[in-house]
Amino acid sequence: MRKIVFVGVGDVQLLRGIVSDLLLSEDLRGGLEIVLNDSDAGQLATAEALVRSLDAEAGSRAEIVAVPERRRALAGAEFVVSHLDVGGFDATLRDFEIPHRYGLRQTIGDTIGIGGIFRGLRTLPVFVELGLEMAELCPEAWLLNTSDPMTMAGYAIQQATGFDRFAGVCHAVCDTHAHLADLVDRGLDEVDFVSAGLNHQSFVLEFSSGGRSLYPELDLALDADPELGRHVRVEMYRRFGYFPTQSSEHSAEYVPWFMRHTGETSRLGVPVEEYLRRAGKNLHVYEETRRALSAGRPLLMRWQHQEPAAAAMLAVLTGRPKEVYVNVRNAGLIGNLPQDACVEVPALVDAGGIRPQAVGELPVQLVALNRAFLNVVELTVAAVLTGDRRHVYHSAMVDPNTAATLPLPAIESLCDELIDAHGDLIPEGIRRGAR
């Protein structure tokens, strides 16, 4: 039996997609052990019911077990798929409502920015614990992380535990490739892509067909439809020369030029506080899934765009090679970013494992954007690992959107208020540190 452990199962739509992909594989029929782990008993029970329903519908005959104790769940795992949301919707609401009173606007708030910093302060200690436990209990397993802040998580695990079989997996790159191919009227199999950078701030370095760049065709498509230009990612492409792999909603809050300017958010259609709407929708999907399970409705997802975590696991388990974009320790993969940074690059995945591919050096203007992003990542991780409250301030002070909006005294005051509001969800050293 091939043992796959899911740590954090509150996102039922994500769980449904990944498990559906696994259970529909003929090669794995009768050979999977799926272990579910979550600290929330209600979410764990719902996840177990969902996976059992999917298994029955697929006829996969998987062995399914729900285990509340994480250490017992991890023992002997081949893959661990993590999706952590420490504090849930209530914590996210605080991450938006308190900065809103200071005049600081966000869109998603889960990567960098004030929202990303405080999500990191809540979540990174759990990732460090998970990395230490995996190093002890399943050192050969791959940790496939699907949750944000992904770059912070990979960097924190590497710095604190030495566990190096971490690979963050995200939709953004493959979704962008599909979007670009559609814009130039090509099938995905007709286009050659290479993208790289950081999770949520990577760029399409190669976009070609038959050895010829497709960027000129993209320019024609954008010029022909003015509405396509009303997006932050297109604005970034036109200024920096390479198309970003992250959505405009995300991209807008990683740089200093958009969120504080109402005219720009209006011109480019940036939905302020978008994540609160998405979080509300996720709660609705969770309840709809529970109702569907009670009614016995089919939930298996067929013919879908394959989940990156599932694609990676299937490539290893079946031996069928697949390119998957992963977030891993740099170690020379991108020549002009720090060696210890957690970077996003293509990987060849097959029975031999996950082998990230070197992409050389990024154009200097893209490295400049990535370095500003990494400043926030490194200082947030430093705050968690040292317990030094001052690094929380430092992280917010160098964050592009926060720094463009608030003066230094207001940034410190905002951080203090958020630390107090989150209470025990924040590491003790930071809570008790001098203001």
Catalytic residues: 171
Q: How far apart are CA 61 and CA 29, in angstroms?
A: 6
Tell me whether strands 166-168 and 192-198 are parallel, antiparallel or unpaired. Answer: unpaired
Q: Which two tokens stand for residue 97?
A: 């409502």
Q: How far apart are CA 423 and CA 431, in angstroms?
A: 7
Q: How far apart are CA 62 and CA 286, in angstroms?
A: 23
Q: How far apart are CA 183 and CA 196, in angstroms?
A: 20
Q: How far apart are CA 162 and CA 330, in angstroms?
A: 14
Among 251, 283, 293, which Cα is nearest to 268's? 251
Q: How far apart are CA 425 and CA 433, in angstroms?
A: 15
Tell me whether strands 243-244 and 212-213 are parallel, antiparallel or unpaired. Answer: unpaired
Q: How far apart are CA 187 and CA 314, in angstroms?
A: 23
Q: How far apart are CA 155 and CA 159, in angstroms?
A: 6
Among 339, 308, 341, which Cα is nearest to 326's? 308
